[in-house]
Homo-oligomer: A and B are copies of this chain.
Amino acid sequence: MKPELGVCYYPEHWPEAQWADDAAQMVETGLSWVRIGEFAWSRIEPNEGDLRWDWLDRAVETLGAAGLKVVMGTPTATPPRWVCEKHPDMFALDEQGHVRGFGSRRHYCFSHDGYRAEAVRITRLMGERYGADPRVAAWQIDNEYGCHDTVVSYSDAARTAFRNWLSEKYGQIDALNTAWGNIFWSMEYRHYGEVFLPNLTVTEPNPSHVLDFMRFSSDQVVAFNRAQADVLRELTDTPLIHNYMGRTVEFDHFAVGEDLDIASWDSYPLGFLEDRSDRGEDWKRRFARAGDPDFQAFHHDIYRAVGKGRWWIMEQQPGPVNWAPHNPDPAAGMPRLWAWEAFAHGAEAVLYFRWRQAPMAQEQLHAGLLRPDSVAAPALAEAAQVASEMAGMEIETGTAPIGLVFDYESAWAWKAQPQGAEFDYFRLVFDFYRGLRRLGLSVDIVPRDCTDLSPWKMVVVPGLLHWGGLSDALATYEGVVVAGPRTGSKTADMQIPLPMGPNMNGVEATVARVESLRGDMSVPLAEGGAYQFWREVLEGDTLELSEDGIPARVGSAQRQYLGGWPDDDAMHRILGQAAEKAGLEVLDLPEGLRIRDAGQWRFAINYADHDWKLGKHITGAPTGRIAPHDVSWWLR
């Protein structure tokens, strides 16, 4: 596969006279793709039924004529004011019951049928106009589901739809009462009309109630997306895409991905480091201009799985953004490095966001490849460099040696019932991912319903709510397995199963009890490192004790269960030993230096602000040093 570059463009923001020059400069830079259309509803249809295709026709014509392939976005993330006048109850409500109204974006409730019909209507009209247009080579549906915490809504529409969803799922109300354990605290319902959304309760709601509400909410996203996808399928043969966000777990991306052809995500390494990293202030300081060395890679692997192998970056940060608490300039080289990290993980395309910095409205301090005055911003030359470096290059992703299970339901379950302030599912899985990457291991993300684990030499399963179909897959799997903590500790209904966890195929063990720990109370392990935040008292064949004499790991070298959340040292040691057991060569990469294997290529990527001697850290690497914020690749 030959990776490509592109950019996001808003022709409606610029004088029409500028379009042709912009398109020519894009092509000259080496860009192939241009995304347009998203957010343009008020120009396409300024009043109901008053359709203005002319300008968009000319934009497609101008961009296509320059040789660019267009990604057409459906504009449903930004319904115009008149749509909201027509459907005054289409807004989501927040947990306190306040309306989340018009004036920015994503101002709709996924459960509102009236708005869903409007979204389908405008999508059909766009599909009819451009679905067969040869210049439109892909479609993006909506934009960044879940951004600004928009998956969950406490509206009347959501309540009605939730009751229907529950009724479908459970049939007789007693089944729901049993599944949720409503006998506890006399929460039993007599009929579905008595069920409300799990907000505004006196103390925390029933976690089974919350989990079902999150499943429902996720399903509403899936259905909303599918409604548009179904329409576009009738009207176009080009691939359908959605652009997901970073660290967004409120809906099941795998399920949305089922209806699409390509997964893409919007990668803002510096913004995400600032506003959604758990690694503390010193870490953020060290990587403030480079981004977390593992965060992008983790998402690349997630979205490759969500896209069943096909994935893009639809929006790539080119310079400072506008929305994090602090918005520093990327270090020189990072816009190039980030693109290469994506290609090393199999991205088919990387589109920078955006072509020219907007001078108005909310994002006017978000950098583009051009400044507002059309002078080139630093990232433009880096994009051009990437384009020339990758000319003619073929990258095949292949299968990674490691499979790491990532499951959205588990994120919802532990958010409903964290038991310890630090227990966040994304954070837990990401810590395992980071540990694998420090070992120099490439990773595939595996969904919970995977039935065949044989492609991977080793499978890692942290914090999985319940085993589901994976249990059968394990029964026939011959590789190494590392699971826990909390994996298998619940039923699908979010109750404690009998026998109690982990219920792990091939490991005789019981989690006798659990405790959550203050950050200053880590439990040292006998062989080094410690468990932090979470520790279980295990019964079973002991592999290792904690220093206080409690079994910390049980099972066998081939198939083990961890009764805690390993800190960096324990993670490195335990995963390293397991990988060696699986026959894998492991490294100990220093902070900031990372590798990724893709087909015949090995990529080395340096997020540090100083250089490293490559050969010292990476077996088989070329001699010489890798500069700060530089990328290097060679045939392995």
Chain A residues in the interface with B (C-beta under 8 A): 10, 12-13, 39-43, 46-47, 75, 78-82, 85, 92, 96-107, 147-148, 150, 180-190, 194, 196, 198, 200-209, 281, 284-285, 288, 319-320, 322-323, 325-329, 357-365, 367, 371-373, 375, 377, 417, 419-421, 495-500, 510, 512-518, 520-521, 537
> Assuming A320-B515, A496-B372, A516-B326, is B362 touching A103 (CB within 8 A)?
no
Contact check, B320 vs A101: say whether CB atoms are below 8 A apart. no
Q: Which residues of B contact A184 (CB under 8 A)?
A: 10, 13, 39, 358, 360-363
Q: Nearest 9 CB-CB pairs, A to B?
A: A181-B360, A184-B361, A42-B186, A359-B496, A103-B201, A78-B186, A181-B361, A325-B421, A148-B203
Query: Can you list 20 pairs linking A and B with CB atoms under 8 Å apart?
Result: A39-B185, A40-B186, A43-B186, A98-B200, A102-B201, A104-B185, A104-B187, A105-B202, A106-B203, A148-B202, A206-B361, A327-B516, A328-B521, A329-B515, A359-B498, A364-B417, A365-B419, A365-B514, A371-B513, A373-B510
Contact check, A419 vs B377: say whether CB atoms are below 8 A apart. no
Contact check, B185 vs A82: say whether CB atoms are below 8 A apart. no
How many copies make up the complex? Answer: 3
Contact check, A100 vs B200: say whether CB atoms are below 8 A apart. yes
**What separation, in Å, do the CA atoms of A365 and B147 have in the docked complex?**
32
**What separation, in Å, do the CA atoms of A446 and B498 have in the docked complex?**
50
Contact check, B361 vs A190: say whether CB atoms are below 8 A apart. no
Contact check, A185 vs B319: say whether CB atoms are below 8 A apart. no
For A374, the closest partner residue in chain B by CB is B498
Contact check, A520 vs B105: say whether CB atoms are below 8 A apart. no
- Chain B nearest Cβ from A175, distance in angstroms: 14
Partner of A183, one of B13, B85, B100: B13
- Chain B nearest Cβ from A248, distance in angstroms: 14
Contact check, B326 vs A518: say whether CB atoms are below 8 A apart. yes
Known: A39-B184, A82-B194, A100-B202. 15 other contacts (CB 8 A): A41-B186, A42-B182, A42-B187, A46-B190, A80-B186, A100-B200, A103-B206, A103-B209, A148-B202, A150-B202, A181-B361, A325-B421, A326-B516, A326-B521, A367-B513
**What separation, in Å, do the CA atoms of A12 and B206 have in the docked complex?**
18
Q: Which residues of B contact A281 (CB under 8 A)?
A: 518, 520
Q: Which residues of B contact A206 (CB under 8 A)?
A: 103-104, 361-362
**What separation, in Å, do the CA atoms of A516 and B366 have in the docked complex?**
12
Q: Which residues of B contact A12 (CB under 8 A)?
A: 183
Partner of A46, one of B43, B96, B188, B360: B188
Q: Which residues of B contact A208 (CB under 8 A)?
A: 360-361
> Assuming A148-B203, A516-B326, is B185 touching A361 (CB within 8 A)?
yes
> Assuming A288-B518, A361-B208, A364-B496, is B329 touching A187 (CB within 8 A)?
no
Q: Which residues of B contact A513 (CB under 8 A)?
A: 319-320, 329, 367, 371, 377
Contact check, B201 vs A107: say whether CB atoms are below 8 A apart. yes
- Chain B nearest Cβ from A268, distance in angstroms: 14
For A200, the closest partner residue in chain B by CB is B101
**What separation, in Å, do the CA atoms of A202 and B93 have in the docked complex?**
10
Which of A148, A358, A362, A517 has its CB near the most chain B CB atoms (within 10 A)? A362
For A418, the closest partner residue in chain B by CB is B325
Contact check, B203 vs A104: say whether CB atoms are below 8 A apart. yes
**What separation, in Å, do the CA atoms of A159 and B206 have in the docked complex?**
31
**What separation, in Å, do the CA atoms of A302 and B300 have in the docked complex?**
54
Which of A85, A187, A284 has its CB near the most chain B CB atoms (within 10 A)? A187
Contact check, A495 vs B200: say whether CB atoms are below 8 A apart. no
Partner of A326, one of B148, B328, B372, B420: B420
Which of A80, A189, A202, A288 has its CB near the most chain B CB atoms (within 10 A)? A202
Q: Which residues of B contact A183 (CB under 8 A)?
A: 12-13, 42-43, 360
**What separation, in Å, do the CA atoms of A184 and B416 have in the docked complex?**
36
**What separation, in Å, do the CA atoms of A167 and B172 have in the docked complex?**
51
- Chain B nearest Cβ from A449, distance in angstroms: 25
Q: Which residues of B contact A41 (CB under 8 A)?
A: 186
Q: Which residues of B contact A357 (CB under 8 A)?
A: 496
